[in-house]
Amino acid sequence: MRRHAYRWLIVALLLVPVIAVSGPASFSPHDASIDTVSALTLDSSLQEIPPYESGARPGAATLLLLCFALLIVLPFVPGLIEVYWPRDRYPLPVDTQYAKDPRFFGRSARAILARSLDVDAVAVGTHEVVMSKPETVVVSAAVTVPENGEQTEIMVVRGDLDVESKATCTGELFVTGDARIGRGAVLRTLSVEAAVSLDAKVRLERWLDAEGDVTIGSECILGMSAATGGAMTLGDGVEFSRLFGAPVSTTGFTGDAGSAPAPKTPAFADVEEIRTIEDLAEFHRDDLIVEPGEDHLRPLVVRGDLTLKAGAVLGNTARVYGDLLMEDGSLVHGDLFVEGDVRVGERAAVRGNLFSQANIHLSRGARVGRPGICKSLIGKLAVHMDADVAVHGYILTDGRGRVSCAGSS
């Protein structure tokens, strides 16, 4: 109805000049000799027509006024319709309940399931429940999805789940025991309360969440997110977007070697001492190369590239505008915020967060974060991890995340 009203109003407004042009009140037969276009463009010939003689002038003036009114009013017509018949008057949708949680998918899905079904008490069998929409949920004890089999319903498994090779599960899977997924299987989502093992070339279309340890085989594709409350091990060729684990490691990781505690950083007793950023941080307008043995205990701001030579140590956090190269065995005790590309060399370590607006490459033996403390590795464009890499906490990339153990030295 509103759409029709809108159309009719536009048609009526467009008809105004037509009526004005063709209406007998505005034009006498003599008017036909006057070129309307000339009138509209105020052609100089019009100036020669004496006013009130031909009767054309009042008609042309009326036409001009109507056109002027039309052009003034027309842009406001859609707005007037929106004012009187609003379709979009509510505030922007702000999710006030949003809080960053790397295990959001699993927790939220389990909460939705728990609201609609008492998983522990409900009988084995098929149930029609309302989750975010009406769904069929199959509740069963331990399940095996056969090779090349297909599971389309949402499934709650009170026991262990085995998905054999090349099986496809398009419904969400909730598992209270362990889950073993065979080679080449395709899953939509997988929520597991114990451990998970994915064989090679498994593809997750959306997410995986587990309470126990997770082992990912080679060349798996991990969808939007893979998260666990335990440890996560990634095989060669795994592709990912978001990972969370304590830690997330790649093939070859056997544990963290103990490291020296962070050095004590200088404190400012009196705010009177602070005038510019140089009173709080080490400020470099150009590139900086840090050699082993140099003391850098204050936060570092580098407007160019930063290179940490092999064995060099930064005692605090750094902000880098260019690229960051951490050569083999170098160490940063704080966080790193980098605009450019980051390369973390072999056995190099960042004890805090590592954030880049570009690409991050972690070479063999690299470490990010420290055991028992959750930190983040964020590379906007890409994150590449070689073998024996460990990140304690969260990994995110908007671009391509990939493990490549074979290519690393």
Partner 1 sequence: MVVLILKLYVILVVLIMAIYAVRHYLFTINRLTGDQRLYYHDIVDDELPRISVLVPMHNEEKVARQSLESILACEYPRELMEIIPIDDHSNDRTTEILDEMAADHDVIRPLHRHEGLRGKPAALNDALLLASGEIILVFDADYMPGRGALRDLSISFKDPEVGAVMGRVVPVNTRTNLLTRLLDLERSGGYQVDQQARHNLHLMPQYGGTVGGFRRDLALSFGGFDPRVLAEDTDLTYRLYIGGWKVVYANRVECFEEVPETWSVRSRQIRRWSRGHNHTMFKHFWPLLRSKYLSRAEKIDGMLLLLIYTLPVFLFTGIIDSVILFFMGEMQIIDSVLVFLFVATYSAFGNFAPFYQIATASLLDGVTHRIRLLPFLMFYFLLNIWTVTTGFFQAIGDRLGHRRAKWEKTSRFRTEESA
**Residue selected from 151, 238, 337, 384 as contacting partner 1 according to rule CB under 8 A:** 337
- Distances in Å between the Cα of 141 and the Cα atoms of 123, 164, 195, 386 are 10, 17, 17, 39
**Residue selected from 118, 258, 275, 293 as contacting partner 1 according to rule CB under 8 A:** 275
Exposure of 105 in the CB half-sphere (CA atoms within 13 A): 23
Tokens describing residue 350: 């960042």
Contact between 353 and partner 1 by CB under 8 A: the answer reads yes
Omega within 30 of 0 (cis) for the link into 247: yes
Q: Which residues pair with 186 in a beta bridge?
A: 168, 203
Closer by beta carbon to partner 1, 74 or else 124: 74
Contact between 400 and partner 1 by CB under 8 A: the answer reads no
Closer by beta carbon to partner 1, 309 or else 375: 375
Binding part of the chain for partner 1, among 19-27, 98-106, 249-257, 322-330 by CB under 8 A, reads 98-106
**Residue selected from 127, 237, 283, 402 as contacting partner 1 according to rule CB under 8 A:** 283
Contact between 289 and partner 1 by CB under 8 A: the answer reads no
Contact between 231 and partner 1 by CB under 8 A: the answer reads no
Give the number of other Cβ atoms within 10 Å of residue 225's Cβ: 22
Binding part of the chain for partner 1, among 31-39, 197-205, 299-307, 341-349 by CB under 8 A, reads 299-307
Closer by beta carbon to partner 1, 277 or else 406: 277
Contact between 244 and partner 1 by CB under 8 A: the answer reads yes
CB 179 within 8 A of CB 196: yes
**Residue selected from 226, 300, 325, 331 as contacting partner 1 according to rule CB under 8 A:** 300
**Footprint of partner 1 on residues 362-391 (CB under 8 A)?**
373-376, 378, 380
Shortest reach from residue 105's CB to partner 1, in Å? 14
Closer by beta carbon to partner 1, 175 or else 395: 395
Give dist(CA 315, CA 400) in Å, integer: 31
Interacting residues of 181 by C-beta distance below 8 A, sequence separation 6+: 163, 187, 190, 196, 197, 198, 199, 202
**Residue selected from 261, 272, 286, 409 as contacting partner 1 according to rule CB under 8 A:** 272
CA 328 to chain centre: 32
* Total chain residues near partner 1 (CB under 8 A): 58
Interacting residues of 168 by C-beta distance below 8 A, sequence separation 6+: 149, 150, 151, 185, 186, 187
Q: What are phi and psi of 217, to 5 degrees?
A: -75, 175
Task: Give the DSSP letter string of 222-274.
Answer: --SEEEESS-EEE-TT-EEEEEEEEEEEETT---PPP-PPPPPPP--S-GGG-
Closer by beta carbon to partner 1, 251 or else 317: 317
CA 170 to chain centre: 24
Give dist(CA 147, CA 185) in Å, integer: 9
Tokens describing residue 95: 């999710």
Tokens describing residue 144: 């095996």
Closer by beta carbon to partner 1, 172 or else 323: 323
Closer by beta carbon to partner 1, 32 or else 277: 277
Shortest reach from residue 176's CB to partner 1, in Å? 27
Q: Which residues sit at the interface with partner 1, rule CB under 8 A?
A: 75-76, 78-79, 81-83, 86-92, 94-100, 102, 244, 268, 271-278, 280-281, 283, 299-301, 316-319, 335, 337, 352-353, 355, 357, 373-376, 378, 380, 393-394, 396, 398
